[in-house]
Amino acid sequence: MITISVCMIVKNEEKVLKRCLDSLAGLADEIILVDTGSSDRTKEIAESYGCKVFDFEWVDDFSAARNFSFSKAIMDYIYVADADEVIDEINRERFFKLKQCLLPEVDIVQMLYTNQLEFNTTYNFNAEYRPKLFKRLRQFTWTDPIHETVMLDPVIYDSEIEILHMPENNHAVRDFGIFQRLIQRGISFSDKLIGMYARELFIAGKDEDFLMAEPFFESLLKQEISESRMKLIQCILVRCGRIKNDSELILKYGLKNIASGKASAEVCYEVGEYFYNQADINEAVIWYMNAAFETEAELNIHYSKDFPLERIASCYEMAGNIKEAHDYRRQAAKLRDSLI
Rounded mean pLDDT of 8-31?
Answer: 97
Contact 5/136 with Cβ under 8 angstroms? Answer: yes
In this prediction, residue 339 carries a pLDDT of 80
In this prediction, residue 89 carries a pLDDT of 97
Q: For residue 224, is pLDDT > 90?
A: no
In this prediction, residue 118 carries a pLDDT of 58
Domain boundaries, the chain: 4-165, 172-338
Q: Please state, as a whole number, how many other Cβ atoms lie within 10 Å of the Cβ of residue 51.
A: 22
In this prediction, residue 136 carries a pLDDT of 96
User: Each residue of 169-180: pLDDT tens digit?
Assistant: 778 899 999 999
User: Each residue of 294-336: pLDDT tens digit?
Assistant: 999 999 999 999 999 999 999 999 999 999 999 999 999 999 9
In this prediction, residue 115 carries a pLDDT of 73
Percent of the chain with pLDDT over 70: 97
Which of 37-41, 87-91, 164-168, 266-270 has the weakest average pLDDT? Answer: 164-168
CATH number of 4-165: 3.90.550.10
In this prediction, residue 106 carries a pLDDT of 96
In this prediction, residue 127 carries a pLDDT of 84
Domain 172-338 CATH class label: mainly alpha
Global pTM value:
0.86
Q: For residue 117, is pLDDT > 60?
A: no
In this prediction, residue 170 carries a pLDDT of 77
Considering only CA atoms, which of 79, 91, 93, 108 is closest in space to residue 3? 79
User: Each residue of 269-282: pLDDT tens digit?
Assistant: 999 999 999 999 99
Sheet hosting strand 4-10, strand order edge to edge? 52-55, 30-35, 4-10, 77-80, 127-135, 108-114, 156-165, 85-86
Q: What is the mean pLDDT of the chain?
A: 94
Rounded mean pLDDT of 27-31?
Answer: 98
User: Each residue of 65-116: pLDDT tens digit?
Assistant: 999 999 999 999 999 999 999 999 999 999 999 999 999 999 999 999 997 5
Beta-sheet strands, E only, within the chain: 4-10, 30-35, 52-55, 77-80, 85-86, 108-114, 127-135, 142-143, 149-150, 156-165
Amino acid making up residue 85:
E
Q: What are the residues whose beta carbons fall under 8 Å from the beta carbon of 221, sequence distance 6 or more?
A: 233
Considering only CA atoms, which of 214, 184, 187 is closest in space to residue 201? 214
- Tell me whether the CATH fold assigned to 4-165 matches the one assigned to 172-338: no
In this prediction, residue 123 carries a pLDDT of 56
